[in-house]
């Protein structure tokens, strides 16, 4: 393998703000420390937490680079001390705490997974953030089981499309909400049993109609705000509400907790980025065991809406902000 360059391109946020603060910069190629690998990045994904970081609302955890980017795919080009199970040249995808928006990125070996056999490098880069998030929240925290019903808000997003596919594969009935007829069609095509256009229909009324007033077992929500009491009203006995973001705020003025007690509900949620390496590695092992065979066979996969070259990362952020996408937004480095 040829010698590594000393310089690389990376994407930075030049202050807090909108997509206009997204800029290309030059930096030194990093060196992997103990337990880490250096990856020549072929592609990286754009995710909502990246936009929150850009706006100044979601800073990297202590010790992480301010360079954004949570998921990558590429080739390992150097191993830090104490790394086992990987070799230089291995094609992998990885969850990173930060720094993915670059031609070279450091990743913890424990959070690297082999590129799924059925996926291109571009598709593989769209796996880590969404699959880690969905599997941990829907199946571990939400305890979704075969025969149960899942309600997914934002079904046409990267998270939503992943949740629909995995829930259907594991035997659940899936109801999705989305913001247009086109997005609803997309949700149905990838496996949703029902799709509700929340702009044209009252999703509470529609879900109760679909479930014959029983309600749903698990709700995956990233909206929050006014959705919170509506979600609680839609949970069946022993139902679980899993909150992974608050696009419309985390505060609710009037919040009646009586249904939580009467229906034995569980309200839970999580963030992924601030967790310890050990906690994230446990999710990686679950994915390797339960989900990687599905990705290897092509039974499930990231659905790519648009791909941008690294020079157009600003445009990729603008697309994410518009919410016009169906699935994942990706960026290629040219590596």
pLDDT tens, residue by residue, 301-323: 999 999 999 999 999 999 999 98
Show the 3-state SS of 17-70.
CCHHHEEEEEEECCCCCCCEEEEEEEEEEECHHHHHHHCCCCCCCCCCCCCCCC
User: Which structural domain, as residue segments, surrounds residue 14?
Assistant: 7-127+273-332
Domain-ending residue, one of 247, 269, 291: 269
Give the Cα separation of 281 and 112 in Å (integer).
9
Q: Nearest Cα to 74, choosing from 97, 102, 110?
A: 102
Residue 254's pLDDT is what?
80
Residue 3's pLDDT is what?
85
Give the Cα separation of 333 and 335 in Å (integer).
5
Residue 323's pLDDT is what?
87
Assess whether pLDDT exceeds 70 at residue 288: yes
142 and 216 co-located in one domain: yes
Residue 277's pLDDT is what?
95
Token pair listed for 201: 């229909």
Assess whether pLDDT exceeds 90 at residue 67: yes
Which element (helix H / strand E) includes 182?
A: helix 181-189
240 and 296 co-located in one domain: no
Assess whether pLDDT exceeds 90 at residue 2: no
255 and 190 co-located in one domain: yes
Q: Is residue 1 part of a domain?
A: no
Q: 1: pLDDT confidence band, cut at 50, 70 and 90?
A: low
Domain-ending residue, one of 218, 239, 269: 269
147 and 172 co-located in one domain: yes
199 and 321 co-located in one domain: no
Give the Cα separation of 93 and 112 in Å (integer).
6
Domain-ending residue, one of 246, 269, 292: 269
Rounded average pLDDT over 72-99: 97
Average pLDDT, the chain: 96
260 and 282 co-located in one domain: no
Q: Is residue 2 part of a domain?
A: no
Please provide the DSSP assignment of 84-145 as one string: -S--TT-EEEEE-SS--SBSEEEEEGGGEEEPPTTS-HHHHHTSHHHHHHHIIIIIIIS---
238 and 155 co-located in one domain: yes
173 and 259 co-located in one domain: yes
Rounded average pLDDT over 97-107: 97
Assess whether pLDDT exceeds 70 at residue 292: yes
Lowest mean pLDDT among 1-10, 24-33, 218-227, 300-309: 1-10
Lowest mean pLDDT among 4-8, 44-48, 52-56, 249-253: 249-253
> What CATH number is attached to the domain comprising 195?
3.40.50.720
3-state secondary structure of 308: strand
233 and 283 co-located in one domain: no
Residue 211's pLDDT is what?
98
Q: 196: pLDDT confidence band, cut at 50, 70 and 90?
A: very high
55 and 138 co-located in one domain: no
Work out the percent of the chain whose per-residue pLDDT is above 90: 92
Assess whether pLDDT exceeds 80 at residue 119: yes
> What CATH number is attached to the domain comprising 313?
3.90.180.10
Assess whether pLDDT exceeds 70 at residue 282: yes
Contacts of 119 (CB under 8 A, 6+ apart): 127, 295, 298, 301, 302
229 and 299 co-located in one domain: no
Give the Cα separation of 176 and 186 in Å (integer).
10
pLDDT tens, residue by residue, 236-272: 999 999 999 998 988 888 888 899 999 999 999 999 9
Domain count, the chain: 2
């Amino acid at each position: 393998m040829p010698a590594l360059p000393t310089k690389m391109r990376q994407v930075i946020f030049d202050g807090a703000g909108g997509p206009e603060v997204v800029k290309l910069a030059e930096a030194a190629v990093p060196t992997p420390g103990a337990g880490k690998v250096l990856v020549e990045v072929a592609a990286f994904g754009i995710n909502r937490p990246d936009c929150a970081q850009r706006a100044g609302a979601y800073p990297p955890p202590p010790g992480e680079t301010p360079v954004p980017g949570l998921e990558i795919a590429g080739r390992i080009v150097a191993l830090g001390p104490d790394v086992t199970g990987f070799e230089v040249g291995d094609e992998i995808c990885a969850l990173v705490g930060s720094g993915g928006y670059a031609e070279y990125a450091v990743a913890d070996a424990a959070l690297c997974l082999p590129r799924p056999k059925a996926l291109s490098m571009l598709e593989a880069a769209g796996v880590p953030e969404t699959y880690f998030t969905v599997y941990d929240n829907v199946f571990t925290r939400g305890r979704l089981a075969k025969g149960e019903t899942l309600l997914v808000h934002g079904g046409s997003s990267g998270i939503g499309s992943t949740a629909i596919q995995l829930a259907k594969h594991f035997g659940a009935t899936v109801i999705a909400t989305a913001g247009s007829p086109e997005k609803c069609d997309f949700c149905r095509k990838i496996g949703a049993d029902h799709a509700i256009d929340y702009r044209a229909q009252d999703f509470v009324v529609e879900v109760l109609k679909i479930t014959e007033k029983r309600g749903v077992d698990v709700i995956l929500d990233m909206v929050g705000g006014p959705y919170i009491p509506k979600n609680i009203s839609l949970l069946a006995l022993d139902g679980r509400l899993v909150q992974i973001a608050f696009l419309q705020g985390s505060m609710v003025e009037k919040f009646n907790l009586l249904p939580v007690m009467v229906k034995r509900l569980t309200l839970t949620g999580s963030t992924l980025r601030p967790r310890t390496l050990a906690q994230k590695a446990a999710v990686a092992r679950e994915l390797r065991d339960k989900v990687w065979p599905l990705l290897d066979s092509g039974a499930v996969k990231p659905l790519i809406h648009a791909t941008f070259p690294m020079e157009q990362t600003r445009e990729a952020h603008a697309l994410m902000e518009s919410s016009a996408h169906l699935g994942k937004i990706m960026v290629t480095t040219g590596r």
